[in-house]
A and B are shown apart, each in its own frame.
Chain A
Amino acid sequence: DGGITQSPKYLFRKEGQNVTLSCEQNLNHDAMYWYRQDPGQGLRLIYYSQIVNDFQKGDIAEGYSVSREKKESFPLTVTSAQKNPTAFYLCASSKERGAYNEQFFGPGTRLTVL
């Protein structure tokens, strides 16, 4: 089955530790995205990548970092600089770069920082 895989589903970390969230897609999509979802605040864009080895900051990139070394993978690192990292993180992909393409979403990872 084609789709987007995010692992793990739940993640716990101690304050001050960096943590990397995994996102893999086998849809052969060019573009990938990371969102943060908090109650009542919808989805906020953290980073997006339209092509391998290139990515752009979204609206709330501070305290996060990404890489896009392979087309199918777009890991997100939540660094200790992120002031409020506890949240639900969603990864998405779309077929091509540009405005016209719908996004396909993964199941999400719920990160809790203790």
Chain B
Amino acid sequence: AQSVSQHNHHVILSEAASLELGCNYSYGGTVNLFWYVQYPGQHLQLLLKYFSGDPLVKGIKGFEAEFIKSKFSFNLRKPSVQWSDTAEYFCAVNSNAGKSTFGDGTTLTVKP
């Protein structure tokens, strides 16, 4: 069975601070990993994704994530957060059959 664990439930940062949100997954097949974001009042949308190749992937709005196979991790990072990054962030893994499993989410609050 596949599973996703996000360790931080609520993160509070000041503007310009660096961000790292943890995501660990469990899945026996080829991994397909995603980070989604839900800004206040908006739909969930894709932030970035990893299928294969370069383990460091870049997404929208300056976000990046690193796939570390040995650690079963896919952590999300941003060097300098802005107030507009306040949102809920979800890590997800897709199985080869197309079934998706999401983590519990991390709420990020950025103080201006």
Residues on A close to B: CB < 8 A?
31, 33, 35, 40-45, 48, 50, 56, 58-59, 90, 92, 94, 97-107
Question: Once the chains bind, are A45 and B32 in contact (CB under 8 Å)?
Answer: no
Establish whether residues B98 and A97, one from each chain, have CB atoms under 8 Å apart when the complex forms. yes
10 sample A-B contacts, Cβ–Cβ < 8 Å, listed by A number: A31-B98, A50-B98, A59-B101, A90-B44, A99-B95, A99-B98, A101-B94, A102-B34, A103-B46, A104-B45
Select B32's contact among A90, A97, A100, A104, beta carbons within 8 Å: A100
A-B pair number, CB within 8 angstroms: 63
For A45, give its contact among B9, B43, B101, B103 (CB under 8 Å): B101
The residue that B45 contacts in the complex, of A40, A59, A105, with Cβ under 8 A, is: A105
In the complex the two chains form, what is the Cα distance from A93 to B66 in whole Å?
26
B98–A102 touching, CB < 8 Å: no
User: Which of A31, A44, A92, A98 touches B96 (beta carbons < 8 Å)?
Assistant: A98
Checking B9, B45, B94, B102 against A43 with a beta-carbon cut-off of 8 angstroms, the contacting residue is B102
Q: Indicate with 1 or 0, residue by residue over B86-99, a CB within 8 angstroms of chain A CB atoms.
A: 00001010111111
Does A99 lie within 8 Å of B94, measured CB to CB? yes
Measured as residues with beta carbon below 8 angstroms from the partner, the interface class of chain B is: 20 to 34
Give every chain A residue within 8 A of B49 (Cβ-Cβ).
102
A111 → chain B, closest Cβ, in Å? Answer: 18
Q: Taking A100-B32, A105-B44 as contacts, is the C-beta distance between A42 and B90 under 8 angstroms?
A: yes
A56 to B95, CA, bound (A): 14
CA distance A41 to B5 in the complex (A): 11
Q: In the complex, are the beta carbons of B96 and A99 less than 8 A apart?
A: yes
Q: How many Å lie between the Cα of A64 and that of B44 in the bound state?
A: 23
B25-56 CB mask vs A (1 if < 8 Å, else 0) is 00000101010100000011110010100000
Whether A100 and B102, one on each chain, are in contact in the complex, defined by CB atoms closer than 8 angstroms, is: no
Which residues of the partner chain A approach B30 to less than 8 Å between Cβ atoms? Answer: 99
Contact between chains at A48 and B34 (CB < 8 Å): no
B9 — which chain A residues lie within 8 A by C-beta? Answer: 40
Q: How far is the CB of B10 from chain A (nearest CB, A)?
A: 10
